[in-house]
Amino acid sequence: MVPGQSTDADVRELRSALPTTLTLAPPAGPARVAKQLDPESRRLADELAAVVHSRLLAGNAIGAVAFVVMLLVALSVPAGRAEHLSLILYAGLAGIFAVLTGLLARDRNMSLSRLRMIEVTALTAYAAHCAWKDFEHYSRFWGTLPEADQWLVVSHSCLNWVFMVFIYGILIPNDWRRSLRVLTGMALIPLIVYAASYFSLPPAHRQRDPLFEMFAMARVMGAAVAIAVFGAHKFTTLRQQASEARHLGNYRIKRRLSTGGMGEVYLAEHRLLNRPYAIKLIRPEMAVNPTNRRRFEREIQAMARLTHFNTVEIVDYGHAPDGAFYYVMEYIEGLNLGEFVQRFGPLEPGRTVYLLRQLCAALGEAHAAGLIHRDIKPGNLMLTEQAGLFDVLKVLDFGLVQQVGPADGDDKLTQSGLVMGTPGYMSPEQATGVAGTRSDIFSLGAVGYFLLSGHAPFGGRGLQQIVTSLTEEPTPLIDLRKEIPADLAAVIHRCLRRNPDQRFTDIEQVSRALGECTCALAWNSRQAAGWWQSAGDT
């Protein structure tokens, strides 16, 4: 075959590939763009839908039960059974409210527009019931009661509608414009029913002066609408303010996890990612100063450079509306070492070495970056499971981190000369306002002492612990637990020397000394997995 020449097979294949119908493209013109909500408006809309859903579910369920009870009561007496129209009305309304309740219970994520349709349906159904009852009362009692007592029928009608207006305005969240529209329509119904009833009655049964009563009704209903609209507006404003207080940027605050000297830690959820995070909120009085704010920002930026597996990841930071500074960390599920020892008792020596070497690895990266933690303690060390590995140690809360060496503008991120840390785990020099990398080594030794013995190395509480660490040596570990290997006890006690020069030179040296202990290979992640499985079974 000559190149470029088509065969019959090629032509048949080409024809089979051609479309058999002609599709016309839409006319050219500007495309209709769907309305997009900004993240804040979307968040408020989602919260509003949740509130409306819960209120409508409760209201429709109550309505269904109430009309079933009314139906049963009517059927229990001869006079009620004779009111066929009322029985049909009760049964119909009970069915409507039951169906609406089922729809709401089945779809927990119903859109706001569908919720508003259900709201209008339920409101219309109940308003129709009230309007019919008003018409029935007017027809029955006008002309039969003394003229001076006929106003009681009108007063009873007004009371029911005022109650409805107040309940709707308070319980169903709306902006004031929508509340005004809905409630105005609701307030007009008793006036329309009154007028319709008046003209449907024989002249002998009509009121002599209906305009006075209609004016009185309009005045009462107008006042009720004004109060309900004002209340709805205030409730909406307060709800938005409360919603804003529960959010920091894209993060929704769920509950408080812990409280410390620098601030509080909260469990939060990213609004778009639906992923949990931990937020450390620095107290406003500590972050209101511009110098402190810059210091915190540089601190977080320095911490964000830490990427070690055993260090909690910093993902974001910002400022709250009240001026407080916050930063966002990965959320770690598990027990901190303080909780673990309190629940299960002191650790085996091999397990202690396994955890302390992970702490050394995390601190090694921080020290290499010129950062000192200054608050190493059991409460800041989390034991978790990650990536299929058990007994993973995570170093939390670098909130007291200090940078070694000069920084831009200020000499230190967290000023030296300030006594910051946790008594019982801070080094003697840190208690006097001076801290270096060997201060973290001292704190590591105090944590190891706690893991092996079940209590801090220095007795007392608060200031007494600090004074003791300045003047006394801790009780030898071997005196507390005979099964602790002598080489491990020696490493821990060397970390706890009062003189920084007598401690290990750096954190890498500590890690090597721990690795050379006789019990260093007695524990690993596989054994940890078995331990946690057995602990879960008990």
CB atoms within 10 A of CB 97: 24
| Angle at the Cα of 264 from the Cα atoms of 458 and 421, rounded to 5 degrees | 30
CB atoms within 10 A of CB 30: 5
Q: Which of 514, 512, 493 is nearest to 503 (CA)?
A: 493
Contact 194, 217 (CB under 8 A): yes
Q: What is the rounded distance in angstroms from the CA atom of residue 236 to the CA atom of residue 241? A: 9
Q: What is the rounded distance in angstroms from the CA atom of residue 360 to the CA atom of residue 311? A: 11
CB atoms within 10 A of CB 475: 14
Beta bridge partners of 279: 266, 328
With 0-12 / 13-18 / 19 or more C-beta atoms within 10 angstroms meaning exposed / middle / buried, residue 32 is exposed
SS3 category, 484: coil
- Give me the sign of the Cα torsion angle 134, 138, 144, 146: positive
Set 134, 375, 397, 440: catalytic member: 375
E strand spans, 361-518? 371-372, 381-386, 389-395, 402-403
Whether 440 is catalytic: no
User: Phi then psi for 292, rounded to 5 degrees?
Assistant: -65, -40
CA distances from 489 to 31, 243, 496, 511, 512 (A): 75, 53, 11, 14, 15
Q: Which of 270, 402, 259, 400 is nearest to 329 (CA)?
A: 270
Q: Which of 301, 318, 327, 295 is nearest to 413 (CA)?
A: 295
CB atoms within 10 A of CB 141: 15
What is the set of active-site residues? Answer: 375
